[in-house]
Structure 1
């Protein structure tokens, strides 16, 4: 059986997108891992299925490259862009994720993803932690570019404190002009990705504890994003938006 696919990227976080409204593509971990393999498949950080939903515009079914599932911020933004391309939606949408319903809109070639309200990230001696649909360990460093993200990230991701499921690991540098530079080791990809939407959002909220205010400008290896939020008197956050581009790269088909 031949399956059409589209390749999307959101600031370098790349995904294989499949219109699965007819239910032809199986939720099969081995097939998903092979498609995402950069040597023997299409190559991607994850695979996303757009499926029908009874009351919402669509359901986004997201798989990491290893076939595991989680919420993906950049993947959600790419799913919204893909749904717009498929003419499922116009400029606004409400859709289902593994973390429940999410809302988004499209403006000026950017996708605005409305994230869930969050408590203040947990603060420890050396790091912060926040689970915003995906778990994120956040370390503030002086020179993020010099961090060995693969080695250091893997050490934290597989450490005893985060067993049995592990965590994503973010290395964050505070720069001038209310800007942070974020590098992320992603659980499920098991490597550094060029951008991680939920990690960037978690890092921006943690940076608020360091004195940064909304909107926080984000620099990632794959490009620039923005996180907007409102902070309440109890230091929790509401009206959180992850904002950035989502672009179609190419299309094709593969046999399964």
Structure 2
């Protein structure tokens, strides 16, 4: 009978199941992903992470949301993959190929730092439904400012608010994620500036829901806040699951630093294996 080994990891509570296709290649079916993502009848996770061989780098990585849709990047998961490969090889600098491009991770005292690449701000690269300014997307929702849109491997819409705790992120997220302005849906972030070096962030992730942390969402919020002149180039973001440090010089890649934690290793039973779904 076929079983599938997996590793469960998380970055600040943003949790992942890692499958190593280097050892056991196989098809990835969206319906199967959503089945094992179920926290009651499966394993439960925010994203499935599939790690495969790469001829030039340490690995090729794909990210899948809990609903089975594919994501271009995931910052917290990238740190987890970097830790996994470090434990295999001892390397402190890891290169990963993703749909976002080549992401490079470096081990440091806070965990792992990842250069998540430069933001895409052109309306058709985010993408948005029509030509408009990314920093002032014409999305008028009562009680909210217009969002700042950016692509950090995934489309993000960032709302800069004065009182984050008064925002019903879980309630508003599903409608905003699927708004017509976002033809590929969007991750919806709400950020409050605390001072020029700290901010509070919550993110409703596309295809997942409200998560304890979102690495690419923190990168998107960093871009929005720097562009608006609200923070300096180094900011500590407080998320529901913990803290991430973000650095951006306004031009190059956004660098994210945070922990990568191992929860456990296990096997998916033959009843839940891909061939049984």
TM over 0.5: yes
Please report the TM-score for the alignment, with normalisation by the length of structure 2: 0.85
Q: TM-score, normalised by structure 1?
A: 0.92
Within 2, Cα distance between the matches of 1:75 and 1:53?
18
Q: Per-residue displacement from partner, 1:204-251 (whole Å, max 9, x unpaired)?
A: 1111123311211100001000111112xxxxx214201100100111
Does the 8 A contact of 1:180 with 1:204 survive in 2? no
Of 154, 158, 169, the residue aligned with 2:174 is 154
Structure 1 residue runs of 5 or longer lacking an equivalent are: 232-236
Distance 1:230 1:239 in 2: 8
Asked if residue 84 in structure 1 is aligned to residue 103 in structure 2, the reply is no
How much is the aligned-residue C-alpha RMSD, in angstroms?
1.6
Q: What is the correspondence of 1:109-128 to structure 2 with a 5 Å cutoff? A: 109-118=110-119, 122-124=134-136, 126-128=146-148
Query: Would the aligned equivalents of 2:119 and 2:253 in 1 still touch at CA under 8 Å?
Result: no
Structure 1 stretch displaced more, 40-49 or 94-103: 94-103
Q: Which has the higher strand share?
A: 1
- Give yes or no for contact 1:175–1:181 (8 Å, CA) kept in 2: yes
Deviations 1:18-44 (CA, angstroms, capped at 9, x unpaired): 222034342121221111111111100
Asked whether 1:133 is paired with 2:153, we answer yes
Cα distance in 1, alignment partners of residues 225 and 52 from structure 2: 36
- Name structure 2 gaps, 5 residues minimum: 122-132, 137-144
Asked if 1:95 is matched to 2:90, the reply is no
| Contact residue 3 and residue 25 of structure 1 kept, 8 A | no
SS in 1 for 2:57: coil
Moved more, 122-131 or 90-99: 122-131
